[in-house]
Structure 1
Amino acid sequence: MSAAEELEAGGAPTNFDAMVKDMVRLALSSEYARVPIRRADISNKVLGERGSKQFKVVFEQAQRELKRRFGMEMVELPAREKLTITQRRAAQKTEKPSTSSKSWVLSTTLPQAYRIPSILSPAKAPSSKAESTYTALYSFAIAVISLNGGSLAEQKLERYLARMNVDTQTPLGKTDKFLQRVCKEGYLVRTREVDGGEEIIEYTVGPRGKVEVGSGSVAGLVREVYGFGQEIGDSDLEDDGEGGIRPTQVEQSVKKDFEMRLRRTLGMQPLRDRRAADANGVDAGAGAGADENEGRRRSSRRPAAQSESDESD
């Protein structure tokens, strides 16, 4: 019987049991501080020299404990993209560039019905207001960058944030302080490059931003802003059978056009392809690009938007 089997069978606490508990604590504390759960930290703080060969089994057992007790799981962060010319040249010199970040963040595994603010409420440190304000602002920043093709010049992003009064009416301090924080925590990535003697500074969506927010949440935000509520579905084309008023053909056409333009802008799978895949029993998320597994990859600190109920697995 393996150490993991002994643990599940209720055997006496072992060194393996202690490592699993330490890994769960590390995951929870790292997510609270918005710090990635790094492989190096796991080796140094959890496994030690004697447990270095037990990473896989300890990681898998910690995942089970996180799901069973906390409704969370560790999701690997995507590797940072090579955006500047210098980064691309450095990557070309490497024989086999790594596709793994060896870093994880916590993501909720709760059913969609429980991903609501009353359950997944903002943290109370430093205060619920400060936490919810910060969540709203980095989600907004990720949305405007995603809607502008995935990158945005620094001056343009600062103009967007100025319209939100980031430097005057939020508990986050000045705009530059906010941008430093979101870059440090991986929501955004700031790149600086000199082209023809001209300095170009741009922002792109960072690894944590892709996992915690993602294109599915951006689409939900845009639908709410434009008053379309939720993604168009087959129910919009049928009578509800209870005397409900069916949308007019003009309303249906406008909503369809809006949805197609939104998905095209965000690089998400066309709606007709998703429906065809569903009809054929194929996983609609396969090959979908930016919105792949969007329902599963939801941060433990953020509830999924009501408008995204069909984005989950």
Structure 2
Amino acid sequence: MPNPHQSDPVITALRALAPGAGLVRREMARADGRHLRWVETTKDSVGPTILLTAGAGDTVLDWAAIIPALADEFRLIAYDRAGLGASDPLRRLTIANQVDDLVALLDLHGPALLVGHSWGGLLAEFAAAARPDAVLGLVLVDATHEEVMAAVPVNLRIASELMLTWMVVLKSLGQFEKRLTRHGRALAERCTDDAEIQELIVAAYRNSYASRGQVLTIRAENRLASRVREARKARAAMVRPDLPVTILTATRGKPPALRARSAELADQTAASYRRGVHVVVQDAGHSIHQDQPAATVAAIKAAVGQLPAGQGDDDQPETPQPSR
């Protein structure tokens, strides 16, 4: 695990992307002694706090394409889940302890608009049910739904598991860096045309997966997402809060049957909230916020526009000092 108190390539890259945001790294100690870490904008803003939770295996860099467009108006919090990026690992990942970490951040930073991508969207929905008083609303970006996972064909499940295991093998053999660089460069090119900033993003991406433990967590989170029974149990127990909820779904990147099932479940989920809406984002794959960042930013700002005037703008809690 890279030492978060040393020079932080992620902060360096994000500051280059959003130079006026005053981005810093902060952390909190959890009851089991590990530390949960996030990046936060310190620039004064007129809008509410927005808490960003990434997809399975992803870090704060998952949001790099939209942070610059939001940082001028809102206070942003983007965190690394346990075992990813700068955050310390958990011995065993469960939906419950991942939701607990997100709730701890809401207790510290809320009330906030929760924006979750993929697996982070499912966790955001469960966290909002657990702590509705700390959540202003939800924006779910092609969020995971357990019934979509249940519909994944066996051959795709096997292929996914083989890929995840092969990733760990490559990391153990020291052969994972080319793949990291390729993924980091693809992200960088989505964020900026500036070649120097692109190199900073690639370096930050490589640093975020520098250890074998971080790659193991990618596999563990993806396996957790496939445990349909655990997610079904959590959803059955939740009481949906009365919040504005925007659900974004993609138009490509899944087999047709799974895409249709995702859209159907997004309609059902939106209808289960009194103020729920489902928006299909054209020409976007699963990472809608990277394929269509302007559309994602517009949806987030529209969600903020549904909030009562001034809600979440004042009396923000005092936050811990940045890591040094």
TM-score by length of 1: 0.27
Give the number of the structure with larger relative contact order, counting CA–CA contacts within 8 Å between residues 6 or more apart.
2
Structure ID, larger Rg:
1
Q: TM-score, normalised by structure 2?
A: 0.26
